[in-house]
Amino acid sequence: MSEKCLTFLRSKMDEKELAKLQALDNSYLIDFISTYVELCNPDSVFVRTDSADDVSYIRNRSVSLGEEQKLALDGQTIHFDGGSDQARDKKNTKYLLKAGQDLGKHINSTDREKGLVEITGYLRAIMKGKQMYVCFFCLGPLDSEFSILAVQITDSAYVSHSEDILYRPGYEQFKKNKGVKEFFKFVHSAGQLDGTISKNIDKRRVYIDLEDKKVYSVNTQYAGNTVGLKKLALRLAINKASREGWLAEHMFVMGIDDEKGEKFYFCGAYPSMCGKTSTAMLKGEAIIGDDIAYLRKREGEVFAVNVERGIFGIIKDVNSKDDAILFKILNGANEVIFSNILIDEAGVPYWIGKDGLLPHKGTNYSGSWVPGKTDVSGQEIPPSHKNARYTIRLKSLENLDANLENPAGVVVKGLIYGGRDSDTSVPVEASFSWQHGIITKAAILESETTAATLGQEGVRVFNPMSNIDFLSITMAKYIEMNLDFAKGLTQAPLIFSVNYFLGDKDGKFLNRMQDKRVWLKWIRLMADGQVGALKAATGLIPKYDDLRKLFEDVLGKGYTEADYVTQFTLRIPQNLAKIERVRNIYKEAKGISRILFDELDAQEVRLKEFQKQFGDYVSPLKLT
């Protein structure tokens, strides 16, 4: 560290905090931190090590500043984002690209030099009057080939506290990796505040600089825009994985037992609000992670880890019947950060879908709330936002798998892709092969929009691998990566699709919420050949007798042949329309492999052959 840099840092931090930085013995890291201390101009700097005292300092600081408020139960707090800061801001989340770089029309970007000038202007002196927090984390288990080190700079104690719950500590990992230069960097400021809420939402920006492995986030507090190690880090990781031959995916990791208790591990990719967390938390199964996974190949098998150690989950409709384990955590004396829900005068939390009656008044993200309260446009304000969240540590869960911190990861037996699809896909289906699965289950995934992102709900959106929002490479490269990942494997994991949202003509769901437990058990049994399947035009579907037995064994209820026919009828017109929609999208993209079009063409031929033989709607009872 130069004497000039040392003198400057002493003007912003005391000797204790400076000593924490010096102990890392990494001039590259300290230069990075010093650059943003100078640019953002905080009144002081706190350096968070892995110590319990430092963790407590930030947690208590968030409460003392009003970024979080204590609730009735010990450990529980509530954080409110502003009414216009309730979801990921897709429009203003952009990659900074040099002239000539092009990631494709589905990936939002801006000129790198112009973007850096803009974001630097926003960051200049943005922390004046505040304290800066410098925090060190590790993505993935410690001391692992999966591990990626990261540094978060922020002026939000709430963001720092959230990341402590969600991610492994990284200060000692930086010490072990003395002088490391490659790590992920995140710079965030909530900006000027109106009370505790980001004021200049019109200047909300989230910019990703792939060249410098750095993410900037300003004038926002919503965690999806600010907790750098979550989806922002996923963008950096996808780019890194593309260069190194592994996968960074928007996937849960969970263990599913057969009736003998033998556990297999699966990864699953679903867009937000499509049942991903509730699947990872299924009763009787074991959770490793609910959101982001890194996958690597070793000795002919696929291994996966959970990038995180906590859950930032959607709380809407979490109840004691369908989410018993999670409900217990959220209603006990555990460390929980609630965001954008309703609290009553006694500090008891409420949300849409929670057991019991709502209070007659309380406080939510809109301020003081009573039933019937409307916003400026006359729309009724719900008691909690549809995208309201909770943040918890996985170790709080009684169904946590013992391999969460296993540096080697777990062997993956199958990949599951699911979206919100009201009229096309059957509840569960296996692909014919790895290639067929990657193309027809993953690369053509569509999902109807929800409250998890800003914009209109209920619109069918193309979302390959449930990862389009986070791609930092072209779609052509991403599909190629996934296809090539099977090379060298002794036996590639099976690939499945699920759809919990199939409906009838009146919009009523044909699946009940707990039916997913049966679909997942069938997936587990398929993974080692304990059940057979019927060959449809789009993949392999369950046999009725197998499902009838599983409904009895797993849920203790009957399953009629009529329900089976309704749920697993092959809807040929809708499937053909989907192929046409997606084919047209890929025709406009550059460099897409011929393999994709060949696989879509082959599926279209099968569908038309079935249509000629059976008609537009094919009962599973006609398949053998």
Residue-wise pLDDT tens digits, 459-497: 788 999 999 989 999 999 999 999 999 999 998 999 999
Residues of the chain with CATH 3.40.449.10: 3-65+92-244
- Residue 519: the pLDDT is 98
Enter the pTM of the model.
Answer: 0.94
Residues of the chain with CATH 2.170.8.10: 312-396
Active site residues: 274
- Residue 455: the pLDDT is 52
Domain range 247-308+403-622, CATH architecture: Alpha-Beta Complex (3.90)
- Tens-digit pLDDT profile for residues 112-138: 999 999 999 999 999 999 999 999 999
- Residue 457: the pLDDT is 53
DSSP assignment of 525-537: HHHTTSS--EE-S
- C-alpha torsion sign, points 15, 126, 197, 117: negative
- C-alpha torsion sign, points 111, 120, 184, 87: negative
- Residue 258: the pLDDT is 95
Asked if 235 and 246 count as a contact pair (C-beta separation under 8 A), the reply is no
Type of residue at 300: G
- Tens-digit pLDDT profile for residues 61-102: 999 999 999 999 999 999 999 889 999 999 999 999 999 898
What is the CB-side half-sphere exposure of residue 457 using CA atoms within 13 A?
10
What's the 3-state SS for 320-383? Answer: CCCCHHHHHHHCCCCCEEEECCEECCCCCEECCCCCCCCCCCEEECCEEECCCCECCCCCECCC
- Tens-digit pLDDT profile for residues 157-215: 999 999 999 999 999 999 999 999 999 999 999 999 998 999 999 999 999 999 999 99
- Tens-digit pLDDT profile for residues 538-566: 999 999 999 999 999 999 999 999 999 99
Q: Percentage of the chain surpassing pLDDT 90?
A: 87
DSSP lists the bridge partners of residue 236 as none
The answer to whether residue 450 scores a pLDDT higher than 70 is no
Angle at 243 between CA 240 and CA 245, to 5 degrees: 100
Average pLDDT over the chain reads: 94
Nearest to 269 by CA among 291, 297, 246: 291
CATH class of the domain comprising 3-65+92-244: alpha beta
- Tens-digit pLDDT profile for residues 223-244: 999 999 999 999 999 999 999 9
- Tens-digit pLDDT profile for residues 489-542: 998 999 999 999 998 887 788 888 889 999 999 999 999 999 999 999 999 999
Residues of the chain with CATH 3.90.228.20: 247-308+403-622
- Residue 346: the pLDDT is 95
Pick the CATH number of 312-396 from 2.170.8.10, 3.30.420.10, 3.20.20.60, 2.30.30.140: 2.170.8.10
